[in-house]
Structure 1
Amino acid sequence: MAHWKAGDATLPVQYNPTEIALEKKLQFAEITIPGLSGPLHQFVRGQAETLTIELFFDTSDQGMGAQAVSVATETDKIYSLARIEPEGHAPPTISIFWGAGFPGSQLAANLDGGTRVNGQRRNSFTGVITGIRQTFTLWSVGGMPLRARLTLTIAEFKTLKEQLDELNLSSPDRTHGHVLTSSDQLWSVAQRYYSRPGEWRRVAEGNGIADPRRLTPGLRLAVPAITAGRAVR
C-alpha cells in the first residue's frame, strides 16, 4: 500500500495508484576543440528528478444522498501538502513509500554488483510538490463531490549534505607527472588525468603557463591533484 509522510505525519493512500512516472535529466556542456570531428561532452550537473503520480479517491460508498461524505475529506489531506507552512515559509517536504523493490533500491545490482553508487540507493522518494491537479468526476444529489483524481508532480529534494554524503565523490589524490609530446594540448592532458578537458586551466596555472598555445615537446608538467572535497568547475 502506498503512503505519504510529511514530517511526523503518515497519510495512507485510499487506493494504490496504477502507475508512477520517474524522470531524471542530466546536463552536459559541449566543449569544442579545433580539429576534432565533434565536440567533447563534459558533465555539468544533474537536474532534479521528478515523480508524476495519479491518485484516485472515492467516498460514494457512504451514499449519495443526505448521508454522503465529501471526497474532500480525503483529497484535502494531500492538497494541504502544496500549501505554505507558516513556520517554514514554504510547502513541506514529503516522502512517498510504495512497498519493497521501489525504483532505485537496486542501483548497485545494475553495475555488476559493484558498490560505486550504493550511497544513492533509495526505498522512497522525497521531494516537494511542484504541481497538483484535482479533477472531480462524481457528485451527490446535493452537489457534494464524491469522486476525484489527483495528479501530482513532485520534484526531488535533498540537502547539500545529503547529496555530498550520497555521492561520496573521489578525486585524484596526488600530483601526476606528464611529459608533453608534439601532439599534446593542455585540454588533452586534462582529459587524460581528470576526464574533464575543461580543467586545462588548472594544469596551466599549476605550471605557470601563460600561453597554452605555445607548448614545448619534452616539457615535464606537474598535473595538480584534486584534493577531496575541492570543487571542480
Structure 2
Amino acid sequence: MTTAPPPGRAYIVAHWKAGETTLPVQYNPTKLEFEKALQFAEIAIPGLTGPLHQFVRGQAETLTVELFCDTSDKGMGAQAVSVATETDRIYSLARIEPEGHAPPTITFFWGAGFPGSQLSAELDGGTRVDGQRRQSFTGVIKTIRQSFTLWSVGGVPLRATLTLTIAEYKTLKEQLDELNLSSPDRTHGHVLSSSDQLWSVAQRYYSRPGEWRRVAEANGIGDPRRLMPGQRLAVPAISAGRAPR
C-alpha cells in the first residue's frame, strides 16, 4: 500500500511494474497548468453557408507542473549536499523500467478540491458528467526539463527547478466507464417536415450530421435532395454503448 504524505503536501506516486513508489515533493508547486484539446471535423453540407462541426475525439489532457528543489541549507562549502538527491528521484520517472519495458505511469496528488473534482453532477438538460470527476491526475511524463541555478564553491549543484509535462493516461475500460456513453438502442421513427434534410435528422438522433447516409440506406433513398414532407423515416438503431463512426 502507498502511504501518503501529510495533508496539504503534494506528492507523486509512480506505478512501476514491480510496485508503487511514493515521492513527496520538497516544496509544493506555486502553479499548475492544465490543457485539454478537442478534435472536430468539418462536415460540408451543400447549400449551407458554412460547414458543420462534428466531434471526433478528445486529445490527451496535459498537466504542467514546476517543482522547486533546494539543498543550500546544508551549506555551501565542503559539506554541501547535491540537489540531485531531490531531482534524480523525479528524473528517474522518465527512465525505462527493465521489467515494464517503459517508463512508469504516475499520479500527481495534492490536497482536497483538486481541479476537476467539482465537475457538476448534473448540467442543464440533465446531462451527467460526474463520472469524469477526479481527485488526482494520472499520466505519463511527456517532457521533463531540469534547470540548475545555484552551485557551491566546489561545483556541487544546490538549487534546481524541474518542469514536468504529464500527458493523461487512461485505459480503454476506464474511459468507457467514465463516459457512460449512450446512444439509440432501438429504431426510431421520424416524420419529415418541410425544413428537414437527412443531415438534420442524423444530427437530431445521432448528434452526427455526417451519418445521414445511414438514414438514407435504411429508407432506400437514392437522392437525399428529393424528400417529401410528411414522409415517415426509419432511423436505425446504433449498437449500445457506441456512437456511430
What is the CA deviation profile of residues 59-86 of structure 1, one whole-angstrom value per residue up to 9, with x for unaligned ones?
A: 1111111211110011001001011111
Residues 5-154 of structure 1: pairs in structure 2 closer than 5 A: 5-7=13-15, 8-108=20-120, 111=123, 116-154=128-166
Aligned to 2:178: 166
Q: Given the superposition, is the C-alpha separation of residues 4 and 191 from structure 1 closer, same or farther in structure 2, using an over 3 Å criterion?
A: same
**Quick one: distance in 1 between partners of 2:127 and 2:224?**
39
Q: Does 1:188 align with 2:200?
A: yes
Instruction: Give the letter aligned to residue 159 of structure 1.
Output: T
**Quick one: distance in 1 between partners of 2:122 and 2:225?**
43
Q: Does 1:226 align with 2:238?
A: yes
TM-score by length of 1: 0.93
Identity of counterpart residues, as a percentage? 84
**Quick one: distance in 1 between partners of 2:61 and 2:99?**
26
Verify the 8 A CA contact 2:10 2:108 in the aligned structure 1. Answer: yes
Task: Determine helix, strand or coil for the equivalent of 1:151.
Answer: strand
- Structure 2, unpaired ranges of 5+: 1-8
**Quick one: distance in 1 between partners of 2:75 and 2:237?**
71
Aligned to 2:12: 4
- Structure 1, unpaired ranges of 5+: none
